[in-house]
Amino acid sequence: MSQKPVLRFAPSPTGMLHIGGARTALFNWLYARHTGGTFLLRIEDTDRERSTPEAVDAILNGMTWMGLDWDGEVTYQFARAPRHREVAEKLLAEGKAYRCYATAEELTAMREEQKAAGKPMRYDGRWRDRQAGSAEEGKPSVVRLKARQTGETIVHDVVLGDVRFENSQLDDMVLLRSDGTPTYMLAVVVDDADIGVTHVIRGADHLNNAARQLQLIEAMGAAIPTYGHLPLINGPDGAKLSKRHGALAVEAYRDMGYLPETMRNYLLRLGWSHGDDEIIPTAQAIEWFNFESIGKSAARMDYKKLDNLNGHYIRETADATMVAEVTAFLAREKRTLSMTARQRLETAMPSLKERAKTLVELIAGAEFLFTDGPRTLDAAADKLLPPEARAALAAALPALEATDWTGPALEAAARAHTEAAGVKLGQVAQPLRAALTGKASSPPLFEMLALLGREESLIRLRAYAG
């Protein structure tokens, strides 16, 4: 029986969960869910100076919001340092690693000589075949891997194909620092080997590490995972994605009002394709996902596409779910909705969904449902209510008051009134809308009048009738 795939996402908690990291997590998650394998989350917190609890929270929250659930407990790399040391000691004992006593000054001098001679700067292996003598006793040392010096190391990459590295270009990397702490290169390989990771899918910035890590895996006698290095994500202008391009953190997309389903679809398409399909809901993505269709070249952010996709998912999402999304969004801003507001929101949701590309837009368009009483007009609504419009509003009120308070009846009454008065429907409807919602555009006016009810509507309309 062949083994089920084991994948992992291994972020370093030195900042937020950024969009590239989220895509890496998504691709690992999709493959695990596609194959019925396992998706693990490992926090690589070995850099004690730069790792923060806030960043850990941001990563966990970001993953949770994105709907990327991991299997089992989160593991923390730093806690496994004794195990990493144990592996280094074993390699030492087996002669696959060695102690290097070169001082910082000696290494600086070595690099300067190499630089002056126009040679690449790398560790020259000065302690590789040398035994420590009495002079070295008690002196600090690092542990280095005795890497192969000839031939080549080939990374068989499911995205990039075979990538070859001359072993002469790779120096003997440090596994344990002089204070005994493991390096990232050691920790990542030991952790992956210990949990039986079968597929290492990560950003292309780790491709060079893969060659060195392979040598370490071989020295340990561990199984070689399948590698996949994902091309970078660029800004809309094709340059490396940076703060200048706007949002980098997943949280920022949440706060701009994008839905998690939108983000999953968008990030999937950013570097993976299925013919010309743009709309790929997550369930479909799980069914289709494969490594073969990951693009080889850098992907470009396209915010317009993101907006369109979000509009699509807003319309597709069930009304009750959208109410829950809005409620959660408002809760993050420490706002709560009354029961009445929630009911109004739910009733108006089919119309609100049609008009919004983001939750922020949807909420802005729904504010008039959340509280009672006369509206404060925004600039556009204010323009719709000059004195003559207020007079037209006042003149229309008796006709509305006299009718049943339902959408069709109110519309019929408004039409009959405008026909009799010889004015266009818009001349009455626009001031009505402005007074009712405080805005120049809204979901269908007569539906909204019915939704708010006779009493509440008349309070709002009378405030601007005159």
Indicate whether 11 belongs to the interface with ligand GLU (CB under 6 A): yes
Q: Compute the least distance from the CB of residue 307 to ligand GLU, in Å.
A: 29
Nearer to ligand GLU, 44 or 172 (CB): 44
Tell me how far apart the alpha carbons of residues 28 and 23 are, in angstroms, rounded to a whole number.
9
Would you tell me how many other CB atoms lie within 10 Å of the CB of residue 240?
Answer: 12
Catalytic residue, chosen from 4, 119, 243, 439, is: 243
Provide the 3-class DSSP secondary structure of residue 54.
Answer: helix
Indicate whether 188 belongs to the interface with ligand GLU (CB under 6 A): yes
Indicate whether 447 belongs to the interface with ligand GLU (CB under 6 A): no
Tell me how far apart the alpha carbons of residues 248 and 319 are, in angstroms, rounded to a whole number.
30
Q: Interacting stretch for ligand GLU, rule CB under 6 A, among 4-12, 81-89, 106-114, 116-124? A: 4-12
Q: Compute the least distance from the CB of residue 124 to ligand GLU, in Å.
A: 27
Indicate whether 280 belongs to the interface with ligand GLU (CB under 6 A): no
Q: Compute the least distance from the CB of residue 176 to ligand GLU, in Å.
A: 19
Q: Compute the least distance from the CB of residue 357 to ligand GLU, in Å.
A: 32
Residues in contact with ligand GLU, total (CB under 6 A)? 8
Q: Compute the least distance from the CB of residue 42 to ligand GLU, in Å.
A: 8
Nearer to ligand GLU, 66 or 399 (CB): 66
Can you list the positions of beta strands (E) in 231-303?
Answer: 233-234, 299-300
Tell me how far apart the alpha carbons of residues 123 and 411 are, in angstroms, rounded to a whole number.
83
Indicate whether 60 belongs to the interface with ligand GLU (CB under 6 A): no
Provide the 3-class DSSP secondary structure of residue 258.
Answer: coil
Residue among 384, 376, 377 nearest 428 (CA): 384
Tell me how far apart the alpha carbons of residues 87 and 67 are, in angstroms, rounded to a whole number.
35
Q: What Cα–Cα distance (Å) separates residue 346 from each residue in 9, 179, 349, 352, 451?
A: 38, 61, 5, 10, 11
Indicate whether 228 belongs to the interface with ligand GLU (CB under 6 A): no
Indicate whether 396 belongs to the interface with ligand GLU (CB under 6 A): no
Q: Position of tokens 């069914």?
A: 287
Q: Compute the least distance from the CB of residue 326 to ligand GLU, in Å.
A: 33
Listed in sequence order, the residues at least 6 apart from 85 whose beta carbon sits closer than 8 Å to its beta carbon are 176, 180, 182
Nearer to ligand GLU, 44 or 157 (CB): 44
Q: What is the dihedral of CA 315, 321, 326, 330, to 10 degrees?
A: -160
Q: What Cα–Cα distance (Å) separates residue 143 from each residue in 168, 182, 232, 349, 404?
A: 20, 9, 33, 63, 86
Return the residue nearest ligand GLU (CB atom).
202
Tell me how far apart the alpha carbons of residues 393 and 418 are, in angstroms, rounded to a whole number.
11
Q: Interacting stretch for ligand GLU, rule CB under 6 A, among 6-14, 135-143, 321-329, 401-409? A: 6-14
**100 DSSP β-pair partners:** 142
Decide: 348 and 322 in contact? Cβ < 8 Å: no
Decide: 44 and 188 in contact? Cβ < 8 Å: yes
* Catalytic residue check, 353: no
Can you list the positions of beta strands (E) in 267-391?
Answer: 299-300
Which DSSP symbol is given to 130? Answer: -
Residues within window 27-46 making contact with ligand GLU, judged by CB under 6 A: 44
Q: Compute the least distance from the CB of residue 29 to ligand GLU, in Å.
A: 14
Q: Interacting stretch for ligand GLU, rule CB under 6 A, among 10-18, 264-272, 431-439, 454-462? A: 10-18
Nearer to ligand GLU, 175 or 200 (CB): 200
Nearer to ligand GLU, 202 or 433 (CB): 202
Residues within window 189-208 making contact with ligand GLU, judged by CB under 6 A: 200, 202, 206
Nearer to ligand GLU, 219 or 306 (CB): 219
Nearer to ligand GLU, 10 or 267 (CB): 10
Please compute, for residue 241, the number of CA atoms within 13 A of its CA located in the half-sphere on the CB side.
Answer: 21
Indicate whether 12 belongs to the interface with ligand GLU (CB under 6 A): yes
Indicate whether 10 belongs to the interface with ligand GLU (CB under 6 A): yes
Kindly list the residues in this chain that would bind ligand GLU in the complex (CB under 6 A): 10-12, 44, 188, 200, 202, 206
Active site residues: 243
